[in-house]
Structure 1
Amino acid sequence: MSGFGKKPISSPDRKFKASLYIVHEVSIVKGYLIVCNKKNQELIRSEVFQDRPNEWAYVPYLGKIQWLSLREAALFNKKNELVSKVSLL
């Protein structure tokens, strides 16, 4: 089972969208921070977490996605701590 966590977040200039994609397998769950352009072409896919396939284990990672600049997006956890960030060159 896999799917997107929440609605994609647009960059400040609206050229890109960042979203969290979750892949739920039998033995593991992985979260990816994905950045796409306006044509919905995937530009970056970065693994941001990997944990047991138990909601209590991985839900704390599912905070919010925020754009730090025009070319840098980040995932923050429920405690508003940085989990991971990605940059477009």
Structure 2
Amino acid sequence: MARAAAKPAGDPAEQTPAGDPAAQTPAGDPAAQTPAAAPAAEPEPPTEPATLDVVMLVSLSGLRDGEPWPAAGESIALPVDEAEGYIANGYAKPAE
């Protein structure tokens, strides 16, 4: 049984099909090159959440961020979404 002679690894016939358009594009053609990724934008520094000053209508027990809650009639600056919750529940009102 005769063996077929092995083709060298660099044989162009084995690398790409003759009808492949990519094989016919010159290597220096800019259209054939994949565009480089855009440089990553630097992350923006974190911003402080918007706050709303409220006057407490009730006294709450416990701590908030390690500090006691202000007494009824005293004010505190809270993140807007949290302040809106206390206002909706009648625990606080917007400071004037």
Normalized against structure 1, the TM-score is what? 0.20
Q: Which has the higher strand share?
A: 1
Larger Rg: 1 or 2?
2
